[in-house]
Chains A and B, each alone.
Chain A
Amino acid sequence: KNQVEQSPQSLIILEGKNCTLQCNYTVSPFSNLRWYKQDTGRGPVSLTIMTFSENTKSNGRYTATLDADTKQSSLHITASQLSDSASYICVGAGNQFYFGTGTSLTVIP
């Protein structure tokens, strides 16, 4: 069964701290792994897209990693800001897109 699981479900961190979000995926055939940021009341916005041959990709303070052998990905946020408060969704792409349920991140001052 194709599925994507994310952890933790929610996370609260202090402004300026780092955090890492986790994603385990079972998608076959597998094409790429995506991370999206979804602000409250908005549609998801793409952060990174990685194929199975890529093991890391950065977008500013966001760095995603991919281990195709263990089928795990992580999203690391460095020096968090209040504007990072959002839901982060992991998506496995194969014949179609498989969405995780997201990690809700709250950054507090």
Chain B
Amino acid sequence: EAGVAQSPRYKIIEKRQSVAFWCNPISGHATLYWYQQILGQGPKLLIQFQNNGVVDDSQLPKDRFSAERLKGVDSTLKIQPAKLEDSAVYLCASRRLSGQSYNEQFFGPGTRLTVL
């Protein structure tokens, strides 16, 4: 089966600009996650979707970050305006169902964002 797809792979922007990332999860996976991974750290959850509903967005900086999964399939994450500290890799992951906690989580290759 095809893996989690993300685009773009790399993005360089100046601070205060806007940027959007796209994720297409594995077919049939109801749960989708966006993580932020700063260099040298583990991934930090930004938002979790179950189908097209938000399960957890408690760590999403809502003043500048937004995410949507309108049709319960692919998802976009937006940053507006970007700050220097947003420089990180943004990982998308998907699972079949979040209620079955043993289910494996599959990660995409990530989008590396550099804010100048």
Whether B51 is near chain A, meaning CB under 8 Å from some CB there, is: no
| Contact status of A102 and B101, CB under 8 A, knowing A42-B109, A43-B93, A43-B110 | no
Query: Is there contact, CB below 8 Å, between B91 and A102?
Result: no
Tell me the minimal C-beta distance from A31 to chain B in angstroms: 4
Which bucket holds chain B's interface residue count? 20 to 34
Number of interchain pairs (Cβ within 8 Å) = 47
Tell me the minimal C-beta distance from B12 to chain A in angstroms: 15
Given contacts A43-B93, A101-B42, 8 further A-B contacts (CB under 8 A): A31-B101, A42-B109, A44-B107, A89-B42, A91-B42, A94-B101, A102-B40, A102-B41
Task: Identify the A interface with B (CB < 8 A).
Answer: 4, 31-32, 41-46, 49, 51, 89, 91, 93-94, 96-97, 99-102
Complex contacts, B110 vs chain A, CB 8 Å:
41-43
Query: Is there contact, CB below 8 Å, between B107 and A101?
Result: no
A-facing mask of B91-116, CB < 8 A → 1, else 0?
Answer: 10100000001101111111010000
User: Which secondary structure dominates chain B's binding surface?
Assistant: loop
Whether B4 is near chain A, meaning CB under 8 Å from some CB there, is: yes
CB closest chain-A residue, reference B56: A96
Tell me the minimal C-beta distance from A48 to chain B in angstroms: 11
Query: Is there contact, CB below 8 Å, between B102 and A96?
Result: no
